[in-house]
Structure 1
């Protein structure tokens, strides 16, 4: 349903070009015949309108706009609402053809105003529907839903909802306008698909399909096919996540993915069959390319034979010349020309297939088709299409290894993209592309400048990109993420080369930190599929927030190495700054794969240490200490550092840093420093507060549970942990077992009670995606991240709330850095100042001991949260007698403090 021409605003230029976008027709292709407007005005105005029509039909869109604008001014002056409405409507569509959405929206709103004044409610409903589609194309699906039905529409509900009186659909119902009704259902279904409510999207699209001979059958089938592709992709991702957390569900999820992919193929085949019957070449090309895209997404299941796909590609190529020139055709041509030979390619516009296998088409075919797209863009005078076509051709030559040709066309793409900033959302792609090409040409200064411009542009539009369709989150990681990492690596290399030293302290390191911190913020926003995190951003840079005894140690993972960046506070004898070192072993830079293997072995040794009387092997702990901590020990001592805050990257997030071991001092890291963590400095405000920790809301599960056929053992010592909380906070409120339910939490937090602490004693699982992230409640139920967020959001804005969220008995998928991202993000997502949680499940008897000590420390005047946890962990280390087994870091090190460490 979303017009291919304008879909690019939200996703076309995100870099998700091939596997994450779909081919759509617009639901509105007509331009009202201006010749039929009332001609009571002067002949000159009628002639202007007529001339505008001729210009439009001849492809001179700008000429039509200039002429119609004069006519509109005349109609306004004559107070002719009826004709002003028609001209405004057509001006809106003309601007749509130029992808000038801002002007299009303005004129659609003018048309609505004038049609309302002319008492033409039928047309008001139609224009509202078309305006809704425009917002959909911009990725503003919620705005579209509001116009179509209601601004109170519950996008999470699985039931169809009543539409308000002044909404597009209600106007259509009242006036028995079946045309607008079908279109409205279709666009509403597409909007719901974009916000991730696939089940409800299907219901509305099936309502549209019930209207026989509507003329929109091809569109409806394609839209339903796209919904089922999204569902298939989601099930596929969940299957991969379940392999880490619940193997029994992996097979079921995989089967669901196959079923939904097959349904999408069926709908696309139906569209193709209808398009053949109607001799609709554009419809045929649309259905063919959508089917080809499904084959890429479902490649692991081999649902469509390779020979069949090859035939469809050849058929699509043969259709190009038969389709009428338009921006839609141009984008289809580009997708076709850049079809990758490698099914693992997630974006054909930023990644290259294997050398010698550059695409499904021949080199000559690809060049000809891309040049044809450029010709079309010039003919229709659409700078956005022109920019994209030139950029695609530049990327083609980049993949061929011809930097001169690649740079030539990339520069032309930049020129086209910069026209009135009409294609700003593609600008970052071409600046990034120019940066890559210039770097290969050894033009490092120019390359770095191009990378920096790309970064600046991407930051400006990042929220729009990463809050789009949730199912592209992995493509975001694989496609957009490299720009941040490549720039950060470039920044570090530049200053390292300038200093000719292995470590430095210059402003360039801070720039690299800002770059990678922006990536981590983007990852969190993308993981949760929302932008509410943006509202709590700390504008300060990392070097501006460290206090006199705190250092921040950040890590950045690159393709072949890992950088460690230490930010120190200023001292009397030396200003603060950032030191940079590569992770090295025996004066040799360590490959990231080597470090990852060591970390995985370290985790496994700790977890297995829970059942061993001798604890675990300290060898791995000391090796990691020497790699990560020892290079900075002298700097720590010189700056009198007492607290280390880690901002880890990727797989480094899952390291229990407190357990690293210093063989020289025979101490764990936690015995030397308090240890905190945060996924992003800009999401953390290290500010002390006047804490009045008098009570907590305690939610607990003591009994065994079965969730999704996975058994979770009874927490035998949960009652002891709950009792420990009661001893420290006697005024607390408790909901245990059956009383612990999602609705209980929501109701209790919705009351006037203020709970500075929410303590949850239960199994929790943090999966690769939020759907597989939940806390187990009573009666074998789940509290999802979304439900937790909704409940805790009631505490926002209340005095002294919410200071701390504590989750015990958690279970994070080992080896999956996105799972740990979810663990860190759950607190920050709901505006909690700090959180304490564990990286893996721990025997609850030891947890009760640690938590009780942590809370007692926390109530001491002047005790920071991170120091309170440190003292509790040190006490565990010193346990003797029957409890001496809990001295092993297997029991205390997985507990980490996230967020505000003060």
Structure 2
């Protein structure tokens, strides 16, 4: 019997063409054994990298997973291990699909496919075809998706993989449903259903029933849809699929609402929300955010049901309950780290209407909460989810609650636009030249009046007459990127000329930032820290997208001048150039009472936690202070100003924006001043200097920012130069 090392070597040699074996020198047994051990260790390292990448992928650490799998791919290719190579390629394709880089995902799957065909891995070949189909479906190329699923189907049949066959049929049904070909989708679901039943795949059976219900709901055959949902529910309960049960209850509730069974719809949707919330209880913050994305529809649908019954206040409670829940739990746990768990759990419950009114009173502010409502429509021959309405609640300091509804359907029905595209277009207009050295092509006219018409006109008479009174906007989804100060009324006046403006991720977050401020005030009486001001550090090199070579960021002389001027105002010394290392700044941040960082900002709108502030790299760090690293800090600052590009950005989720601002507030900072777009260098320095001068006269941060913006209008009339920054959290 051969030793395992020699067996491995023989198997590797046997895979080479015969002609390549002749020139090999004869090696003694000890050398052959050493070579085999080396090859075996390389194989083990590749398997370890594959597994490591899988673990990183499971934590949504996509960049790290890509690096692990690329290393594994190189080893497998060097060893001519075709199966291993195909596995690494498939994994890389899935990672890029998770990053929404669908074209790149397709490239990797297309590389894997011929290898799987060559090695005769028919199951792997069919699975790769399914992956390609799913990637093309994500690109809304439904016909191509259908082609790949149809190629996979006979392969699964040939190898006798009945479960794979049922899955391919089910995916075909999904693709045809996306094309609004509901009857054809039903045919595929009905073919898949008995196979799932025969092979004992109870989950597959349940989801086939659910999707049959969805198809019949799209055909307005609501009673048949209800019957299929009701068949699926006990199966999902039996197999313990709580997530599927919550999804199905949500679909059932929406269908009951469509039939006019409003009371039953409300009861069903409340049950769906209860199940879905239970799934988040034991997860870490990152996974709570991810799972919430698929749960948001239940909150939106229940709001519609409640508004249909004129239950305005109950709908506000659900709107608040359906946002920033992971953020609220994170803040509550950190604020109450010394409190019993039972007390923390009581705090993190969504506020009722009386508590919402108390928060408005404590803030002495008018709160404006937005909720975007979506519905499914057939558009250009495809079923799609589109904005249908905007709900707006105004909560005044005296507790009075008012409600307005705005119809959003005309935006896309008549004008081919949407609220989200209006906001994106506005950002492109405003971001002309910036601290990243990028240039954008501007549309000919900004559309600030249309945004004002949609967001402000319906509630204008409910806002305070005193321009110094606080108005706190609580956005949702794309509304987080709205430059509220720059919204322009029919007369051409900007909103900042009439109101003092702040924003917050949710009403309950305001209550928690108020607690943060009070805790800091008590600590700073005994330990008042200094101001930390940084400008234009020696810049790091960065890769602007996965797999691309790194290049150094350009220096920012304007940011250096800004830091010098502000440091003089704050009676401290600015940190400039090579002194601004990531390690040094991170250490100083933990003790500072005020933090001002004027440098490059890097936006990560895929994961969010990769958003970063550029600092000087050193032997122990890469010079990028990321949102993930800030999340682990404990800060004492009452205000952090990120005078850089896109620092309010990140991954927009139902839990708010996952990025630098969220991490700073979670780290203990009650007030954060961040930018909505790529800010221009010189005007930003002027705005910031004016802000701090005003702050010395009046400690109200929101009023100081307003006055700085008003003064900037005289010298820089364009909103791109003064309207980028938003104050999140506390004004005082």
TM-score, length of structure 2 as denominator length: 0.71
Matched, 1:198 2:30: no
Give aligned pairs, total.
Answer: 629
SS of 1:848's partner is helix
- Residues in 1 aligned to 2:647 and 2:570: alpha-carbon distance in whole angstroms: 29
Matched, 1:355 2:180: yes
1:394/1:289 CA distance change after superposition, 3 Å: farther
Give the drift of 1:896. Answer: 0.8
Tell me if the contact between 2:189 and 2:208 (Cα under 8 Å) persists in the aligned partners.
no
What CA deviation, in whole Å up to 9, does each residue of 1:791-843 have, x standing for no partner? 563325xxxx1322211131479999679764643434544322112222333
Matched, 1:895 2:730: no
Per the alignment, residue 136 of structure 1 pairs with none
- Mark the structure with the bigger radius of gyration: 1
Per the alignment, residue 293 of structure 1 pairs with 131
Residue of structure 2 aligned with 1:228, choices 65, 82, 92: 92
What CA deviation, in whole Å up to 9, does each residue of 1:156-182 have, x standing for no partner? xxxxxxxxxxxxxxxxxxxx9xx9999
Tell me if the contact between 1:873 and 1:893 (Cα under 8 Å) persists in the aligned partners.
yes
- Residues in 1 aligned to 2:658 and 2:477: alpha-carbon distance in whole angstroms: 9
What CA deviation, in whole Å up to 9, does each residue of 1:755-809 have, x standing for no partner? 1222211121324223873333347997546x3542563325xxxx132221113
Per the alignment, residue 853 of structure 1 pairs with 690
Tell me if the contact between 1:764 and 1:809 (Cα under 8 Å) persists in the aligned partners.
yes
Give the drift of 1:398. Answer: 4.2
Residue of structure 1 aligned with 2:613, choices 775, 782, 804: 775
Per the alignment, residue 18 of structure 1 pairs with none
1:822/1:400 CA distance change after superposition, 3 Å: same
1:457/1:578 CA distance change after superposition, 3 Å: farther
SS of 1:717's partner is helix
After superposition, where does 1:670-709 map in structure 2 within 5 Å? 670-684=496-510, 685-687=512-514, 688-689=517-518, 691=521, 692=524, 695-701=530-536, 707=542, 708=544
Give the drift of 1:597. Answer: 5.8
Residue of structure 2 aligned with 1:487, choices 302, 319, 329: 302
After superposition, where does 1:241-320 map in structure 2 within 5 Å? 257=105, 259-265=107-113, 268-269=116-117, 273-274=120-121, 284=123, 287-297=125-135, 309-317=149-157, 319=159
Tell me if the contact between 2:539 and 2:617 (Cα under 8 Å) persists in the aligned partners.
no
SS of 1:547's partner is helix
- Residues in 1 aligned to 2:134 and 2:652: alpha-carbon distance in whole angstroms: 25
- Residues in 2 aligned to 1:468 and 1:790: alpha-carbon distance in whole angstroms: 14
Per the alignment, residue 223 of structure 2 pairs with 404
Give the drift of 1:417. Answer: 2.8
- Residues in 2 aligned to 1:630 and 1:846: alpha-carbon distance in whole angstroms: 30
TM-score, length of structure 1 as denominator length: 0.59
After superposition, where does 1:196-595 map in structure 2 within 5 Å? 196=61, 197-199=64-66, 202=69, 224-233=88-97, 237=101, 257=105, 259-265=107-113, 268-269=116-117, 273-274=120-121, 284=123, 287-297=125-135, 309-317=149-157, 319=159, 322-323=160-161, 332=164, 334-340=166-172, 352-356=177-181, 364=187, 366-377=189-200, 387-388=206-207, 390-395=209-214, 397-398=216-217, 402-419=221-238, 422-462=240-280, 480-495=295-310, 506-517=312-323, 520-521=324-325, 535=333, 539=349, 541=351, 542-547=356-361, 549-558=364-373, 559-569=386-396, 571=398, 575-582=399-406, 593=417, 595=419
What CA deviation, in whole Å up to 9, does each residue of 1:184-219 have, x standing for no partner? 987665334312342575489789989x9xxx998x
Give the drift of 1:591. Answer: 8.2
SS of 1:546's partner is helix
Per the alignment, residue 724 of structure 1 pairs with 565
- Residues in 1 aligned to 2:219 and 2:413: alpha-carbon distance in whole angstroms: 31
1:655/1:648 CA distance change after superposition, 3 Å: same
Per the alignment, residue 876 of structure 1 pairs with 712
Per the alignment, residue 654 of structure 1 pairs with 481
Tell me if the contact between 2:611 and 2:650 (Cα under 8 Å) persists in the aligned partners.
no
For structure 2, which runs of at least 5 residues remain unmatched after alignment?
A: 1-39, 335-346, 374-385, 435-442, 545-549
1:337/1:831 CA distance change after superposition, 3 Å: farther
For structure 1, which runs of at least 5 residues remain unmatched after alignment?
A: 1-175, 240-253, 277-283, 324-328, 346-351, 499-505, 526-530, 611-615, 878-883
Tell me if the contact between 1:448 and 1:490 (Cα under 8 Å) persists in the aligned partners.
yes
What CA deviation, in whole Å up to 9, does each residue of 1:11-48 have, x standing for no partner? xxxxxxxxxxxxxxxxxxxxxxxxxxxxxxxxxxxxxx
